[in-house]
Amino acid sequence: MSKFFVKQNQIENNAIKVIGEDVNHIAHVLRMRKNDEIQLCNQDTGENYLAIITNIFKDCVECEIKEKIEKTTESNVHITLFQGIPKFEKMELIIQKCTEIGVKNIVPVMMERTVVKLDDKVANKKLERWQKIAEIASKQSMRDCIPNVEKIIKIKEIDESKFDRVLVAYENEEHNILKNELNKLKKKGKEYNIAIVIGPEGGISEKEIDILKEKNAVFVSLGKRILRTETAGLVMLGNIIYELEE
């Protein structure tokens, strides 16, 4: 069943109006019709509804709530990915796949070894596109929220106080493996708030390593093999959710 996101102001009593680009997708791509069932998610609250399409107009699709869906696809493990900006096609892949796996927030980080350069105009356009990719991936994977792609920052701007642990994938870490740190964190019934830091194609510089050490970040190995930047975050995210998700 197809799933779409709406805002709180699109819900009134037992009725929901779908607006924007989703109208064309529902009417002309999926060719849905009156009385078809559709799943709608309140993006502001994460609440899900099974609804029936009652009318399809040019600028909106009117739906009637049939029932509230109690189960959720969201995790007790809230992960923020601080991703050193790679080449743009890689960044799009990272956002898409990390959204499917369950990332909560994605923060692009301009690092010393980032190859691409962005002025404000290009950066704003990229952020809009990246957020749209996260939205599409959320719909396809039936998420109950859309990960927020936040503004581009530098590594010194990471606020470590927001997280239970800041984990850094570091190819020169030889002893401390990711599983060791996850075992230290593991506690039944706990909500986790974890940050992971991934370098760009050229890796994290020594200066940036020192900054992360000052922030009490924990450096971990992801195994014997060196992973590409577009692979490392996916592996790390998947392993964290596998180990800690209830």
Output the pLDDT for position 81. Answer: 98
Can you identify the CATH homologous superfamily of domain 77-244?
SPOUT methyltransferase, trefoil knot domain (3.40.1280.10)
pTM of the model: 0.89
- CATH no. of 3-69: 2.40.240.20
In angstroms, the CA 233 to CA 218 distance is 15
Q: Using CB atoms within 10 A of its CB, is residue 211 exposed (0-12), middle (13-18) or buried (19+)?
A: middle
pLDDT (tens place) for every residue of the chain, 246 residues total: 789 999 999 999 999 999 999 999 999 999 999 999 999 999 999 899 999 999 999 999 999 999 999 888 899 999 999 999 998 899 999 999 999 999 999 999 999 999 888 888 889 999 999 999 999 999 999 999 999 999 999 999 999 999 999 999 999 888 899 999 999 998 877 899 999 999 999 899 999 999 999 999 999 999 888 899 999 999 999 999 999 998
Q: Are 161 and 214 in contact (CB under 8 A)?
A: no
Residues of the chain with CATH 3.40.1280.10: 77-244
Predicted pLDDT at 189: 76
The contacts of residue 79 (CB under 8 Å, 6+ apart) are: 102, 103, 104, 105, 192, 194, 195, 196, 237, 240, 241
**CATH 2.40.240.20 residue window(s) in the chain:** 3-69
